[in-house]
């Protein structure tokens, strides 16, 4: 018999229960089964399953539909299971990132048979590993209709603050070339590492944009994240590769960001190796405005890349909002404050109740 | 029964015989045994052995002693054994580097019972691999008296031209440091790769010295031979290491060369990883002058590091001079022109006869 989740218990106890079901990326089946079973017990929801992702929807014919989503996987356990409570803090792998958010979403699913907007609850796998295995990406390709909506909230840890949109990211290799020669007769060669000096000077002198997009200020970054060159200790190197990471604000498309990098390194050989667009915060939509009003506080720009970009790609404005502390994510001593979970649940109920 | 070397055959045939005794570095025993046996048969020589190095000396009480040295090992065989002669060229592994030189030295040893100067013949192992296994280095530590003399000729391939002295070499790591941060918030970190830009600019702008030392013009080089930095594709790197190779003329000691590197990279963190001094050409000594006169031609500076530096460290001026073509060394199609071997033997006989 599998794990059972009681969605009537208080949200702190439910979080602890979920944390104790180990679900490191790729090994989410037990938790996905428990989530599916608990949701199928709720007659007001239609439940779908794809791999270890579970989607449940109300179908009340409301004028708006919102999506509430969270990943059920965690980074590897680091001696931090089972969970324990100390001084109002719940410790355990995934407590902050993001099983407390998952618990809030499950509680809403059970507590709101007739929410003010139609709601789609999305619980997905493999968020903590390479993006190609990401469960939300898989759903967006196989079942984009399951993810349709006017607005989405990802319950990632944000310390209870609304984080809007996300910045895009791309990586490029800026390559300089030369000609090999024995270093005892270096003038017969051309040193590709020396030729990378101007590339580093461009990076060092580059001033990052800080544009305001839909009312939130973003902060870009263009950085070398690696440099490699060299053949042997007595050979003039004939190639040097500077790997550059550009984090760009969501007013640029991926293509526009690539064009910017090409301009910055005009005259150099540039290869793009990977990239993902950002997402505009989309806070101007009426359903987002109602959410802002219910949650309160000052929204801030999300600088890192997150899965909100996947919703954005489907035309669904999305924000991050969750009870966890992002600074504790992926740490052995990860915890979440019980009162933060309760507060998050209360605000979401205010919005959708 | 081991290999036998007949030192009365002509020098071309003797070279072919020696080439056919495979002696890749570390596997010189068969050839060392044959060399020792052939030399012990000569009553005018005193023979010593250390590992697979063989040293033979005349003791005629002459006013000067010269050392004639050569390594008996080769780089790995590359389908180029046994030797073959075609159009006056002897093909085979080690033909140029440097069994033709070894053959000349063995012929001199046999043909000159009463040379004009006392002669020490040195045949040694493991020159083609890491310097710590070098047979001449071993002899210089264990039996420096065996190598004593007023002048030394290493019969490395020089195409029949005297190459004087050698440049020194050192490697240093120039390190820049920073502070890690997630690349989505790069301003919280300090990029160590960007900080390496000025190091590369210094290298690119550096003008190499071309000093004249004892009448020969050298040509230095200061080059990055490697650069490495980077933690992960989304992390601001906190360390970047530029590996620099300085090839320096023999008017500088190793210590002075290190001081020069420190000055060039003033303000940067510099670590020296290895180094070997050069050797002055020493062509002003009377015994060298007589050698120059006998051999003829215009001597040139040796730019690469060679074992002459080991003699120089013992206070013995040394030059490279041999019949092989240095451009063919270590190549599958390695060969030596038979007439070059004969000419080299004749000139050496002129000098010592």
Spell out which residues of chain B touch residue A229, defining contact as CB-CB under 8 Å. Answer: 224, 226-228
| Average pLDDT of span B27-35 | 98
* CA gap A191, B203 in Å, rounded: 10
Quote the mean pLDDT of chain B: 94
- Name the minimum distance, in Å, from the CA of B304 to any CA of chain A: 5
- pLDDT at position A2 over 80: no
- Name the minimum distance, in Å, from the CA of B194 to any CA of chain A: 5
pLDDT tens for A137-166 read 999 999 999 999 999 999 999 999 999 989
- pLDDT at position A201 over 90: yes
pLDDT of the residue at A228: 98
Contact A190, A167 (CB under 8 A): no
In this prediction, residue B228 has a pLDDT band, given cuts at 50, 70 and 90, of very high
pLDDT tens for A220-254 read 999 999 999 998 888 899 999 999 999 999 999 99
Structure tokens at B176: 């820049």
Give me the helix-helix angle, A286-295 and A338-352, nearest 10°.
140
Contact A21, A34 (CB under 8 A): yes
Structure tokens at A105: 């979403």
pLDDT of the residue at A335: 96
Contact A17, A82 (CB under 8 A): no
Beta pairing class for B212-213 and B151-154? unpaired
Contact B68, B155 (CB under 8 A): yes
Using CB atoms within 10 A of its CB, is residue A266 exposed (0-12), middle (13-18) or buried (19+)?
A: exposed
pLDDT tens for A7-49 read 999 999 999 999 999 999 999 999 999 999 999 999 999 999 9
Lowest mean pLDDT among A290-299, B65-74, B140-149: A290-299
Residues 6 or more apart from A87 whose CB is under 8 A from it? Answer: none
* CA gap B208, A253 in Å, rounded: 47
pLDDT tens for B161-196 read 999 989 999 999 999 999 998 898 899 999 999 999
Name beta bridge partners: A53: A50
pLDDT of the residue at B331: 82
In this prediction, residue B337 has a pLDDT band, given cuts at 50, 70 and 90, of very high
Share of chain B above pLDDT 90, in %: 82
Active site residues of B: 73, 127
- pLDDT at position B131 over 90: no
Among A283, A236, A247, residue whose Cα is nearest residue B233 = A247
Share of chain A above pLDDT 90, in %: 82
Whether A195 sits inside 8 A of B204 (CB atoms) is yes
pLDDT of the residue at A25: 95
Lowest mean pLDDT among A97-111, B57-71, B276-290: B276-290
Active site residues of A: 73, 127
Q: How many CB atoms lie within 10 A of CB B108?
A: 22
Name every residue in B having a CB less than 8 A away from some CB of A. 167, 169, 171, 182-187, 191, 193-197, 200-201, 203-204, 208, 219, 221, 223-237, 240, 242-243, 245, 247, 303-305
The whole model's pTM is what? 0.81
DSSP string, A185-208: GGGGSB-TTGGGHHHHHHHHH---
Of the ranges A175-189, B87-101, B317-331, the best mean pLDDT one: B87-101
Contact A24, A133 (CB under 8 A): no
For B256-271, what is the HEC assignment?
Answer: HHHHHHHHHCCCCEEE
- pLDDT at position B1 over 80: no
Interface test with chain A among B185, B218, B234, B327, by most A beta carbons within 10 Å: B234
pLDDT of the residue at A181: 87
| Average pLDDT of span A255-269 | 98
Q: Supply the Cα-derived Rg of chain B in whole angstroms.
A: 24
What is chain A's length? 353
In this prediction, residue B129 has a pLDDT band, given cuts at 50, 70 and 90, of confident
B190 DSSP assignment = B
**First-to-final CA distance of chain A:** 34
pLDDT of the residue at B8: 96
The partner residue sitting opposite B225, judged by closest CB among A219, A224, A235, is A235
DSSP helix/strand/coil, A172: strand
Whether B221 sits inside 8 A of A191 (CB atoms) is no
- pLDDT at position B148 over 60: yes
Among A8, A26, A86, residue whose Cα is nearest residue A17 = A8
- Name the minimum distance, in Å, from the CA of A287 to any CA of chain B: 29
- What are φ and ψ of residue B113, in 5° steps? -65, -25
pLDDT of the residue at B132: 86
In this prediction, residue B252 has a pLDDT band, given cuts at 50, 70 and 90, of very high
pLDDT tens for A44-102 read 999 999 999 999 999 999 999 999 999 999 989 989 999 999 999 999 999 999 999 99
pLDDT of the residue at A10: 97
In this prediction, residue A326 has a pLDDT band, given cuts at 50, 70 and 90, of confident
Residue identified by tokens 């060159």 is A229
Nearest CA in chain B to A224: B193
Whether A194 sits inside 8 A of B187 (CB atoms) is no
Whether A243 sits inside 8 A of B237 (CB atoms) is no
* CA gap B223, B172 in Å, rounded: 10
The partner residue sitting opposite B197, judged by closest CB among A204, A223, A245, is A204
The partner residue sitting opposite A230, judged by closest CB among B226, B232, B237, is B226
Share of chain A above pLDDT 70, in %: 100
pLDDT tens for B257-297 read 999 999 999 999 999 999 999 998 888 888 888 899 988 88
* CA gap A352, A108 in Å, rounded: 9
In this prediction, residue B305 has a pLDDT band, given cuts at 50, 70 and 90, of confident
Whether A237 sits inside 8 A of B224 (CB atoms) is yes
- pLDDT at position A1 over 60: no
- What are φ and ψ of residue B65, in 5° steps? -125, 130
Share of chain B above pLDDT 70, in %: 100
The partner residue sitting opposite B225, judged by closest CB among A187, A234, A303, is A234
B208 DSSP assignment = P
* CA gap B207, A294 in Å, rounded: 68
- pLDDT at position B327 over 90: no
Residues 6 or more apart from A267 whose CB is under 8 A from it? Answer: none
Whether B219 sits inside 8 A of A171 (CB atoms) is no
Residue A130 to residues A134, A147, A158, Cα–Cα distance (Å): 7, 21, 22
């Amino acid at each position: 018999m599998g794990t059972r989740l009681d969605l009537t218990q208080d949200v702190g106890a439910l979080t602890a229960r979920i944390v104790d079901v180990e679900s490191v990326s790729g090994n989410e089946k037990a938790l996905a089964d428990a989530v599916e079973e608990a949701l199928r017990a709720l007659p007001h929801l239609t439940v779908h399953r794809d791999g270890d992702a579970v989607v449940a929807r109300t179908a009340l014919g409301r004028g708006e539909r919102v999506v509430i989503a969270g990943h059920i996987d965690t980074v590897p356990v680091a001696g931090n299971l089972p969970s324990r409570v100390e001084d109002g803090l719940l410790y355990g792998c995934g407590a902050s990132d993001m099983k407390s958010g998952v618990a809030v979403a499950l509680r809403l699913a059970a507590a709101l048979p007739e929410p003010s907007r139609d709601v789609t609850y999305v619980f997905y796998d493999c968020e903590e590993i390479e993006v190609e295995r990401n469960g939300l990406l898989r759903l967006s390709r196989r079942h984009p209709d399951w993810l349709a909506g006017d607005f989405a909230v990802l319950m990632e840890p944000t310390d209870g603050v609304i984080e809007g949109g996300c910045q895009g990211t791309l990586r490029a290799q800026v390559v300089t070339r030369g000609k090999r020669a024995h270093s005892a007769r270096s003038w017969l060669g051309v040193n590709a590492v020396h030729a990378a000096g101007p590339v580093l000077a461009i990076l060092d002198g580059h001033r990052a944009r800080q544009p305001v997009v839909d009312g939130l200020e973003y902060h870009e970054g263009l950085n070398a994240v690696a440099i490699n060159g060299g053949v042997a200790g007595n050979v003039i190197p004939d190639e040097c590769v500077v790997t550059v990471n550009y984090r760009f604000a969501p007013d640029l498309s991926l293509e526009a960001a690539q064009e910017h990098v090409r301009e910055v390194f005009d005259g150099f050989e540039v290869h793009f190796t990977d990239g993902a667009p950002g997402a505009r915060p989309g806070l101007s939509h009426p359903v987002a405005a109602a959410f802002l009003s219910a949650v309160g506080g000052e929204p801030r720009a999300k600088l890192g890349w997150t899965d909100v970009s996947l919703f954005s790609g489907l035309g669904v404005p999305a924000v991050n909002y969750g009870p966890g502390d992002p600074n504790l994510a992926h740490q052995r001593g990860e915890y979440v404050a019980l009162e933060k979970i309760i507060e998050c649940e209360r605000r979401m109920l205010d919005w959708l109740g």
